[in-house]
Chain A
């Protein structure tokens, strides 16, 4: 890990390269350097500003923001790479890559990130460097910036550093309005329903849900631990292994109980991606009741929603990738 921080390419600055919407809100603070404001206009009206908040490397003189801002920022990104080379002319480092190669790397990284997200796998920064960026580590920041730009322009997705501590990135939706997309394909992909069912059970209980309780609930859906299901396959494996691996659930042994019993908790990813309000809405839909039928839980959900809004008024709701499944 320490090598990472010594490297030019460290996830924090790279992350700042990829998203500054957390730092720059519509009321842009005066201290922002010109490249950021340039990047702010190039992103266009349809997506929040992107770009670095602090660029330690030499950058071209600020130019008036224009429609042509887009290629200029990318040119600047490539020039940064070259500028960095100029700064370290003492060592005979590797030859700077052609701009086309940086662009290609950005495309590779874009696809890599999309596939990782599709498979609900964690996007881990060291993996990104190892699997895609490779020997272009020095230009990792500009590659990341370019990738983020493309993802925002073409897919409406933000590549965001969700945890500096674990160096994890995630793809967050940047489109408004934020709503559950399961409306589109709800009856084709029941995986969401299964997970939400378990998560809401845990939430309503207010503590871990014993495995036996979970199976009682799943019995309603016709699922049994010993029976293979035509859509889910091995349900037990799915909920005790796959969902756990994807950090949507935690599966732990209940202490001091013999014979051994296990219980489920919300996983870190579920806490990040799914709001309590979404759970209440799910419960309301499934049980055809008003969410206020669970008064204390509903109060909690309201408080969480308020806290989220206060914490980051410009940010969009956390993307619930589960909801589209």
Chain B
């Protein structure tokens, strides 16, 4: 009983005692609460949005306080969220390395977050698309290949035309990205489902050699087969003149992308940014 009480005290007090000195105890103020509310409302946000959000929350609740460095701010909140098995997770878009943030539930090990949104056959369509994406070499599954699996779906029978619309629903809800008739996972899906994917497809799943996270799109060494995310390639090879595979030392045959620079993006103007994020939705 005492153990239970102590456990509960540790979990529920916002001012948690430092646990083994790993993380500084977090303090929840209205600044943090509003930040969490709005982050949850938006689902997934890019870093510059997150910074604006943070500034907004300070403006509303704590005008005089200094705006804490974003990383520390988020770490503070995460130390409170830890006992609830949720966290603000940071990831990056796989094509151009933009940092993104989402509030994710670490306890779920299924596509349960989507479960309330979609019917059984729609969820199964997503699972089929997910499998194709993971098995593919490019990280993309063609619309045709996904639609051909429509007969195998659990639940109510779905026609191909209907399935096309369901796929568009996935795109609008930021689970999938569409590019020229092919589908891959949105960074939000990767953030939220990484654990589920790694547990469900342990053999088929690809991992980045640099950051060791789940890899859907990336470049691979033609000699030894290791894979790297495009932004990881950019960061790793940035200083070198002659890019070589970190594993087998063979010449790296692919074009090295540029490292994502938030300053450059801001100079280009918001229209460019919104065009990029909308690119996937153009028909």
Contact = CB atoms under 8 A, between A and B. Distances in A.
Interface of A: 46, 68, 70-71, 74-75, 78, 98-100, 103-104, 107-108, 110-111, 114-119, 121, 131, 149-150, 153-157, 173, 175, 177, 179, 181, 183-185, 187-189, 228, 230-231, 233, 321, 324-325
Contact of B60 (A108, A111, A177): A177
B174 to A, nearest CB: 12
Contact of A154 (B33, B57, B168): B33
Contacts of B43: 118
Interface residues of B, number: 48
Contacts of B67: none
A98 B3 CA distance: 12
B105 A118 contact: no
Contacts of B4: 75, 78, 98-100
Contacts of B13: 70-71
A98 B8 CA distance: 12
A98 B9 CA distance: 16
Q: Is the interface of B mostly helix, strand, loop or mixed?
A: helix
B270 A228 contact: no
Interface stretch (B77-85, B197-205, B255-263): B77-85
B41 A228 contact: no
A193 to B, nearest CB: 15
B282 to A, nearest CB: 6
Which of B38, B41, B42, B49 gathers the greatest number of chain A CB atoms within 10 Å?
Answer: B41
B41 A155 contact: no
B33 A175 contact: yes
Contacts of B103: 114
CB-based closest 4 A-B pairs: A156-B33, A184-B56, A71-B9, A99-B4
Q: Is the interface of A mostly helix, strand, loop or mixed?
A: helix
Contact of B52 (A46, A74, A184): A184
B258 to A, nearest CB: 24
Given A103-B8, A116-B116, A156 B34 contact: yes
A155 B38 CA distance: 10
10 contacts: A70-B9, A71-B12, A103-B11, A175-B37, A184-B53, A185-B49, A189-B42, A231-B278, A324-B37, A325-B41
B1 to A, nearest CB: 9
B61 interface: yes
Given A46-B30, A114-B103, A184-B53, 6 more contacts: A70-B9, A154-B80, A175-B34, A179-B60, A181-B56, A185-B53
A185 B105 contact: no
B270 A187 contact: yes
A248 B113 CA distance: 23
Interface string B29-69: 11001101110111100000100110011001100000000
